[in-house]
Structure 1
Amino acid sequence: MQRRDFIKIASAGGASLAMPPQIHLSGQKMAESVLTVNPVPLYELSPYLYMQFMEPLGTTDSSVEASWDHAKNQWKPGLIEVTKELAPGMMRWGGNLSAYYKWREGVGPRKNRVPFLNTDWGGMETNQIGTAEFVDFSQQVGAESLMCLNFESDGLPRYAVNGKGENRSGDSKEAAAWVDYCNNPSNKERIRHGFKDPLRIGHWQLGNETSYRREGFDNETAALKTVEFAKALRAVDASVKLIGWGDSGWAKHLVETAGEHLNYVAFHNMFDPGQGMKNSPVKNNAYRKDPAATWEVLMDGYKVHEQKILKVRDELSSYDIPLALTECHYAIEGRNRCEVLSSWAAGISYARIMNLHERHGDKLKIATMADFCGTRWQVNAIMIPVPHGQPFMMPAAKIMWLYKKHSGKDFVKVSGMPQDLDVTASRTDDKVYLHVVNTSRSRYVPITFAVEEFSVQSGKAYELSTDPEFELMSAENDPLLPKERDVKKNEAYEFPPASVTAVELNISAV
């Protein structure tokens, strides 16, 4: 995208934000192209590509506390409702908190639960939301649960012993007891707490960002600890799926040492789409001053992410083990809020990341591109206006919602993609699904669809589009609701500027 292709609104920046969100910038149209789908399945797309990640973030963002109705001891119905719409395939509990989380403090009668110091994020955690509550949330929204374990505090002394002098490290014995508590039908402790049936957590992550701090475990120690933990967990439940930490060049040694015990290798990526730029227009809320430059940076943001994915893939090119991107989102300077991520321009940028994840779906089997929910950070999928607002999806969540709702089982190849479109395709039986991102701010792109050895009979398109500068700030007056349009046989479909569209094509053999 060249800046000369960008047609500004007469008064750029703050003035443009006041425009009705349905107004687009130009009526330019490209020449019609034929987009051809090869319907032969290449690999299965995992339902876990739409994972969400929940972590109590203390004083920085009241994410989990804001999700819970303490008066009624239940999850807030509004959050349950919007998360059901989002339909994550998996919910993950943990993050940095895992390095000092003691699971027994968050089970059993609430009056007996012990609050703890949130070492990393500040403040005290009440432990009113613990294992059973997290699993209940996952079940209510139709997601599987993924738990991040206390991996001996990842070898970090400041996590192992907190500011109060308390020992917060968790060993493999403690981790195995947690798996038994959740998954063993006969676990007496869980039954005594009122849960006759297992809570059932099938996926467990061993270590979280273990390679990111020099004072913690080294690669060799972490790999050996992974073997120790894996053996302990599988001794109580042989069916659990285990994820080992392999970022920062650790993946190869991890797999060589512990690969037989693992189902996935984890890595994270929190990154600035304008990294390396001296004066990035997306930093410190400068995006409102130069929407054109911001658009360019956001449209290329996926390239920064792809470098990380390719690096991990290359390290493991000789090994047949899936990847788990258990944390991923943009991280942009700006009062620690990343406010640009409330804009629809960021939503389109995230759609390019989702297409990237699908293109790497042969190896990438667990992934996200946002933290789950909160009250402040706009890296979240869902924002909760406090104290009494209605939770709503941020632009990143809008993309995950649209893609999850309109995706096929198997990834397939497309060709004939015109310059401004980023397209991926998938298939289930006699239906082809396309995820189409129009990266032009100013041009409509007309496309005729073709499927090799099949005839396109009809179709539907579900389109998200609005002014790229529109910032999603509430559940009210939300323009980012899908516009349903017909796809007619042998007729071109026009993709609007700055749009993300899910297309479903009904096909029949020629």
Structure 2
Amino acid sequence: MIMSIQSTMIVDKDFKLAEVDPRVYGSFIEHLGRAVYGGIYEPGHKTADEQGFRSDALAAIRALNVPIIRYPGGNFVSGYNWEDGVGPQEKRKRSLELAWWTTETNQVGTNEFADFAKLVGSEVMMAVNLGTRGIDAARNLVEYCNHPSGSYYSDLRIAHGYKEPHAFKTWCLGNEMDGPWQIGAKTAAEYGRLANETAKAMRWVDPTLELVACGSSGSGMDTFAEWEATVLDLSYDNVDFLSLHTYYNNNEDDTPNFLARSLDMDQFIRSVAATADYIKAKKKSKKTIYLSLDEWNVWKSQGSSRAEQLWQVAPPEFEDVYNMEDALVVGCCLITLLKHADRVKMACIAQLINVIAPIMTENGGPLWLQTTYYPYLHTSIYGRGTVLHPLITSPKYDSKDFADVPYLEAISVYNEELSEVTVFAVNRHLSEGLELTVDLRSFGAVHVLEHIVLEHEELKACNTKQSPETVVPHNGGSAQAEGGRMTALLAKASWNVIRLRVNT
């Protein structure tokens, strides 16, 4: 006998939270581990194209419809000289890369990554080095990438074979500059001043840029909130976004507590938004700073192996194997991002391939998809439109670090153009199904298009090279609709995507 508990959700077409900025489904590729070399780029691989990009990786990324990809770091960018990665590949120097203690061949740089982004249909979120460098290198890079012609750096790009400018719109002003692990780490005042002056110079080259200032490296930093307030106080008028970084793990093997981690993300977002709004009030500004959660994921690895792999080229790093419970947490985090669609306009699951990633490859071998690929895929494809305020009732539980954790984590997105409502839902209960009733009467008659489910009896089940389809979604969900109400039984510990057609 299948046990179940009750939950309800009211979705009204007039209770609109915000339009989803597609960039909330962004990702991240850093020169770290095998994300670039052996991930997206492997000349000589049987699937490699004429530039050396793996066609199997390109296909898996295209399927995700990733709108924007952050590049080239990450910690890497704080010691990166962008000039080393442009021009003839055979003339590029090999560099000691101090963030991860590897040798960087510079075979992939700005132009190659621009080509890659076009191949997968993504924009580039470019990062500038504010660790070892600053204003001059940043404004020169903008000139190289975005200015049409007639100046030294724009003409240099043309000489390198790229007549048309890359027109990168979104730029990160450094990375995790509060972290002592960062090359050129700074105090909030030092960074805020530098970010402001760099932003001014970059915008004088290209006034259309959107700029992202570094927030704290995480909410656990001693200077958290004070850092955000100081940085924004010094740069408010010249930046558009503030970054957030957060990662979660189940190192204590406490699944109920792990599944509640998205509540921490929710509070993190609220805290940073409140801090930004404090500075807005202080400055009596009409401008709102939006949030870019440009690093987030489940991260299980315990530190880097860089000390044992000193100065190697693209050694394996942080190649986490994700299981069913990791997919549930990623699903809950994606729902949380949608719940804050009014403020979170960009987000990057970190990273895209091989490094704490939904996609894995073997050098010279196959590609396979991790469990976390599927919630990311589903929200990116079906989570476009308007987020609607949900009214949810759900039984709750307490865990080690959280109280009143709802068993039902859910949100709905209305795509008016397609006349579709999609409900994304996670059942956190580990032993019982969850009977969900959704009131959709404001839409009139609706019918179920499909009910996608990701589930597995064993929460530690994962996909590997040998068994790549151990955990895959199916379309066998039980959702039904009648009289403007949808009912479904959400299996225990499951990710659910229920697509409904509105009969307009």
Paired position in structure 2 for 1:163: none
CA distance 1:268–1:234, shift in 2 (3 Å): same
- Rounded Cα–Cα distance in structure 1 between residues aligned with 2:494 and 2:138: 46
Paired position in structure 1 for 2:188: 219
Q: Please list, as runs of the form range in 1=range in 2, the aligned pairs for 1:251-290 lying within 5 A after superposition.
A: 251-272=228-249, 280-281=252-253
CA distance 1:334–1:321, shift in 2 (3 Å): closer
Name the SS for the 1:69 alignment partner: coil
State the one-letter code of the partner of 1:398. Y
Paired position in structure 1 for 2:332: 352
Name the SS for the 2:365 alignment partner: coil
Paired position in structure 1 for 2:19: 44
- Rounded Cα–Cα distance in structure 2 between residues aligned with 1:271 and 1:448: 30
Name the SS for the 2:352 alignment partner: strand
CA distance 1:241–1:488, shift in 2 (3 Å): same
Per-residue deviation at 1:351?
0.9
Per-residue deviation at 1:297?
2.6
- Rounded Cα–Cα distance in structure 2 between residues aligned with 1:304 and 1:488: 33
Gaps of 5+ in 2: 45-49, 217-223, 281-287, 305-316, 396-406
Q: Please list, as runs of the form range in 1=range in 2, the aligned pairs for 1:137-148 lying within 5 A after superposition.
A: 137-148=116-127
Per-residue deviation at 1:118?
1.0
Paired position in structure 2 for 1:395: 371
Match of 1:184 among 128, 139, 147: 147
Paired position in structure 1 for 2:472: 480
CA distance 1:150–1:217, shift in 2 (3 Å): same
Q: Is the 8 A contact 1:411 1:427 kept in 2?
A: yes
CA distance 1:227–1:146, shift in 2 (3 Å): same
Superposed CA offset, 1:79-132 (max 9, x none): 101111122121011211111111111111111111111102122111110001
Q: Please list, as runs of the form range in 1=range in 2, the aligned pairs for 1:380-391 lying within 5 A after superposition.
A: 380-390=357-367
1:88 and 2:66 aligned? yes
1:323 and 2:291 aligned? yes
Name the SS for the 1:260 alignment partner: helix
Per-residue deviation at 1:486?
7.5
- Rounded Cα–Cα distance in structure 1 between residues aligned with 2:320 and 2:36: 23
- Rounded Cα–Cα distance in structure 2 between residues aligned with 1:307 and 1:409: 24
- Rounded Cα–Cα distance in structure 2 between residues aligned with 1:381 and 1:301: 19
- Rounded Cα–Cα distance in structure 1 between residues aligned with 2:340 and 2:55: 35
The TM-score normalised by the length of structure 2 is 0.82
- Rounded Cα–Cα distance in structure 2 between residues aligned with 1:492 and 1:227: 52
Paired position in structure 1 for 2:165: 198
CA distance 1:338–1:92, shift in 2 (3 Å): closer
Q: Is the 8 A contact 1:273 1:301 kept in 2?
A: no
- Rounded Cα–Cα distance in structure 2 between residues aligned with 1:105 and 1:140: 23
1:502 and 2:491 aligned? no
The TM-score normalised by the length of structure 1 is 0.81
Q: Is the 8 A contact 1:459 1:486 kept in 2?
A: no
Q: Is the 8 A contact 1:343 1:469 kept in 2?
A: yes
Which structure dedicates a bigger proportion of its chain to helix?
A: 1
Per-residue deviation at 1:298?
2.0
CA distance 1:304–1:273, shift in 2 (3 Å): farther
Superposed CA offset, 1:399-453 (max 9, x none): 1111111114111122244333211111121322210111122222233332242
Q: Is the 8 A contact 1:243 1:262 kept in 2?
A: yes
Q: Once superposed, what is the RMSD of the aligned Cα atoms?
A: 2.3
Paired position in structure 2 for 1:20: none
Name the SS for the 1:73 alignment partner: coil
Name the SS for the 1:372 alignment partner: coil
Q: Please list, as runs of the form range in 1=range in 2, the aligned pairs for 1:208-247 lying within 5 A after superposition.
A: 208-213=175-180, 216-247=185-216
1:367 and 2:320 aligned? no
Identity %: 21
- Rounded Cα–Cα distance in structure 1 between residues aligned with 2:300 and 2:503: 46
CA distance 1:473–1:456, shift in 2 (3 Å): farther
CA distance 1:416–1:111, shift in 2 (3 Å): closer
CA distance 1:237–1:139, shift in 2 (3 Å): same
State the one-letter code of the partner of 1:469. K
Paired position in structure 1 for 2:255: 295
Q: Is the 8 A contact 1:417 1:423 kept in 2?
A: no
Superposed CA offset, 1:163-189 (max 9, x none): xxxxxx323122111111111121211
CA distance 1:273–1:469, shift in 2 (3 Å): closer
Per-residue deviation at 1:330?
2.8
